């Protein structure tokens, strides 16, 4: 569930940042996320996740590469090895299993290679526009940077005039319309469940939420927290105010991968 593409999109949208880097915050990314019903005991989800995890682990050991290098290859349209193609297939199968767990069988996503931005200075942009074919110029002027296949993405990259030799920041992901549709469904599901919990609490005579029933703890377009989770957050805030904080952490973080 946490490797599912839509959960990554959810975390990027609702998590926090450190400088320009995303930070996964449990309160905003995990506690508000509307997991499918009975996902903990779903054998199909378990099998899809296990197959993906075990293949990825074996691939990293075989190539002596960590997560960062493996996923750099995963997202690179110029990477055509059979092992990375298989990793992409297994990720798609995992995504399919999660969509089915929600009952969203009408969604049939096909991944492609996308740029969230094109970082060129004025001289590089001028040189690119002056020498690129019409279709490449049209894409740049309209900021249309999604390519359904690797060949089209590589052709686009070959016409980009960069002074350095760094690769473009490609992401192998769903098209924007699919991503936005799934996020909208998840937000609607989150709001529906929060409302059910609110009504259940009112009907059973158990109040106690610090937030007004008509104003759940959420951003204007963000996910709502259920009554139980709002209470949990309030407890955490109170404990943070009363407990002294150490100057240094006692436990060092583990390295990525």
Q: What's the rounded Cα separation, in Å, for the pair 180 and 182?
A: 6
Q: Residues near 184 by Cβ (< 8 Å), separated by ≥ 6?
A: none
Structural domain contains residue 126: yes
Residue 162 C-alpha from the chain's centroid? 28
Q: Which of 173, 191, 208 is the last residue of a domain?
A: 173
165 with 176: CB under 8 angstroms?
Answer: no
pLDDT at 165: 66
213 and 161 share one domain: no
- Residue ranges of the chain whose pLDDT lies below 50: 203-218, 220, 227, 231, 234-257
Residues 213 and 187 in one domain: yes
Q: What is the DSSP string of 122-178?
A: HHHHHHHHHHS-HHHHHHHHHT--EESSHHHHHHHHHT---SS-PPP-EEEE--HHH
Which pairing describes strands 112-115 and 21-23: parallel, antiparallel, or unpaired?
unpaired
What integer pLDDT is reported at residue 205 of this predicted model? Answer: 42
pLDDT tens profile 166-193: 789 999 999 999 999 999 999 999 999 9
Q: Specify the pLDDT at position 235.
A: 44
Q: Look at the chain and report how many structural domains it folds into.
A: 2
Long-range CB pairs of 55-59 (<8 Å, 24+ gap) are 55/86, 55/87, 55/90, 56/87, 56/90, 59/83, 59/87
215 shares a domain with 165: no
DSSP 8-state secondary structure symbol assigned to residue 97: H
Rg (CA), the chain: 22
* Structural domain for 196, as ranges: 182-233
Q: Long-range CB contacts (< 8 A, 24+ apart) of 138-146?
A: 143/118, 145/114, 145/115, 145/116, 145/117, 145/118, 146/112, 146/113, 146/114, 146/175, 146/176
Is residue 220 situated within a structural domain?
yes
Is there a domain that residue 44 lies in? no
Q: Report CA-CA distances (Å) from 54 to 38, 97, 168, 222.
A: 23, 17, 29, 34
> 161 and 138 in one domain?
yes
Residue 97 lies in a domain: no
Domain edge (last residue) among 173, 190, 215: 173
What integer pLDDT is reported at residue 206 of this predicted model?
37
Rounded to two decimals, what is the model's pTM? Answer: 0.77
pLDDT of residue 107: 95
**Domain-embedded: residue 49:** no
The residue written with tokens 């008509």 in the block is 214
Which residue do the tokens 């436990």 mark? 251
The verdict on 229 and 190 lying in the same domain is yes
Specify if 205 maps to a domain: yes
pLDDT at 119: 87
Q: Is the dihedral of CA 192, 193, 198, 199 positive or negative?
A: positive
Q: Which two tokens stand for residue 229?
A: 């989770």
In a domain, 186, yes or no: yes
d(CA 183, CA 161): 35
- pLDDT given at position 220: 46
Identify whether residues 160 and 212 lie together within a single domain: no
- E strand or H helix that includes residue 18: strand 16-18
pLDDT of residue 254: 41
In a domain, 78, yes or no: no
């Amino acid at each position: 569930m946490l490797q599912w593409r839509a959960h990554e999109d959810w975390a990027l949208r609702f998590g926090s940042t450190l400088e320009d880097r995303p930070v996964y915050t449990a309160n905003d990314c995990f506690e508000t996320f509307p997991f499918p019903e009975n996902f903990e005991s779903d054998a199909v989800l378990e099998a899809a996740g296990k197959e993906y995890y075990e293949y990825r682990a074996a691939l990293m050991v075989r190539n002596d590469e960590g997560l960062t290098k493996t996923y750099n290859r995963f997202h690179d349209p110029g990477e055509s090895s059979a092992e990375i193609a298989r990793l992409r297939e297994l990720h798609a199968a995992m995504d399919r299993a999660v969509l089915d767990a929600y009952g969203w069988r009408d969604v049939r996503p096909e991944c492609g290679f996308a740029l969230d931005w094109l970082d060129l200075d004025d001289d590089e942009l001028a040189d690119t526009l002056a020498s690129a074919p019409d279709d490449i110029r049209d894409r740049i002027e309209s900021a249309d940077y999604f390519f359904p296949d690797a060949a089209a993405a590589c052709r686009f990259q070959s016409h980009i005039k960069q002074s350095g030799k760094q690769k473009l920041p490609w992401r192998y992901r769903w098209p924007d319309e699919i991503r936005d549709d799934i996020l909208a469904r998840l937000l609607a599901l989150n709001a529906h469940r929060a409302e059910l919990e609110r009504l259940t609490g009112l009907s059973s005579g158990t109040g106690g939420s610090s937030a007004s029933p008509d104003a759940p703890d959420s951003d204007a377009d963000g996910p709502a927290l259920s009554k139980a989770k709002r209470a949990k957050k309030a407890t955490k805030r109170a404990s943070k105010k009363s407990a002294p904080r150490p100057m240094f952490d006692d436990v060092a973080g583990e390295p990525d991968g």
